[in-house]
Amino acid sequence: MSGKIIFDNGKHQCIMFSDLVKGDGIQSNQFLILHSDEETVGAVIDPGGDLTYTPLTLALLKHTDIRHIRYVIGSHQDPDIIASLPRWLLHTQANIVISRLWERFLPHLNSAFTTDRLQEGYLKRLIALPDEGAVLPLGKTQLFALPAHFLHSEGNFQFYDPISKILFSGDMGASLLGDADVRVEDFDAHIPTMRGFHQRYMVSNKVTRFWADAVRQLDVEMIVPQHGKSFVGKAMINRFLDWIGNLPCGVDLLTQNDYDYAALINSAKVD
C-alpha cells in the first residue's frame, strides 16, 4: 500500500501504486511524480475512480503533503482513470489535466451537490490538452503530454518524464494477469497476457505503428502502463514496440459479420 519507488535521484521521484484496487475492479496502477527544488511539487497520473481514491490518498500521504500536488492527470476518460475527479476537485487545489475531447464530459462525474460546493471556479482548474500535446511545467522541470490518440481512447495522452525517462503509457502495454509490481522478464511468455486486450481495445495497426515509431525516437528507459507489468530497458522496450507495431488490432480485425444484426435477431426467434 505504500507504493514502489521506480525512480529516485534525490530530487526527483516516481512512485507506482499497484495494489490499491480491491474487489472486482480491474488491477490498475496509479502514479506519483515528485520534484523538489526550492519547493516540492507533484503530479498524480491516472488516479482511478472512487474505488481507489481513499487508499491512494492515504498512500500519497506517506510520500508527500497533498497540497504539493499540482496536477491530477487523466490519460483519457475511463472510470479506472479519472472517475474520482469530484473528490480531487473538492479536497485538493490540484489542476485536472485531460484531453480537450473529454473536458466538457467530466463535469458529468460531479453531483449537483459537488458542483454547488465548488461553484463556477472549478472549471478554471481543468486543463484541456490540445490534440497536438502540451508541456506541463513541474517546478523547474516539466512533463510532456504526448498525443497517443486512439490508443485506445479518441482523446488519449501519454506522459513522458525527461528526468526518469519513464513513459507513462496509460492502457498501451497493459497486461491483465500476474504481479503488476514486477517488470516483464520473458517477453514471449508475456504476450498472451496482452494480446486480447490490445486487439480489442486499440483502434488499428495504423496508429499502433505510428506510436511505436514515435517512441523509438524518444530516450525511454521504462514504459509503465496503467495495468500490469512494466517494460524496463531498451531491449525489452524494443521487443514491445516491434510487437505492437506489427499487431493487427481493432478495426483491422472487423468484418461485416461483426455487424450481422439479422443473425442475432433470428437466433432469438421462437417458432
Q: What is the DSSP letter of 94?
A: P
Looking at beta carbons, which residue is closest to Fe ion? 78
> Is residue 46 within the footprint of Fe ion (CB under 5 A)?
no
**Any residues with CB less than 8 A from the CB of 191 and at least 6 apart, and which?**
243
Binding track, positions 79-118, relative to Fe ion; x by CB under 5 A: -x--------------------------------------
- Region near Fe ion per CB under 5 A, out of 17-25, 101-109, 163-171, 182-190: 163-171
The gap between the terminal CA atoms of the chain, to the nearest Å, is 57
C-alpha span between 172 and 237 (Å, rounded): 12
CA dihedral 109, 194, 159, 7 (to 10 degrees): 120
> Is residue 161 within the footprint of Fe ion (CB under 5 A)?
no
> Is residue 78 within the footprint of Fe ion (CB under 5 A)?
yes
Closer of 80 and 161 to Fe ion (Cβ): 80
- Region near Fe ion per CB under 5 A, out of 101-109, 123-131, 132-140, 171-179: 171-179
Interaxial angle between packed helices 234-245 and 205-216, expressed in degrees from 0 to 180 and rounded to the nearest 10: 160
- Region near Fe ion per CB under 5 A, out of 1-9, 90-98, 135-143, 224-232: 224-232
Please name which of 180, 130, 249 lies closest in space to residue 20, comparing C-alpha atoms: 180
- Region near Fe ion per CB under 5 A, out of 16-24, 50-58, 102-110, 219-227: 219-227
Half-sphere exposure of 232 (CA within 13 A, CB side): 12
Site residues, Fe ion (CB under 5 A): 78, 80, 171, 226
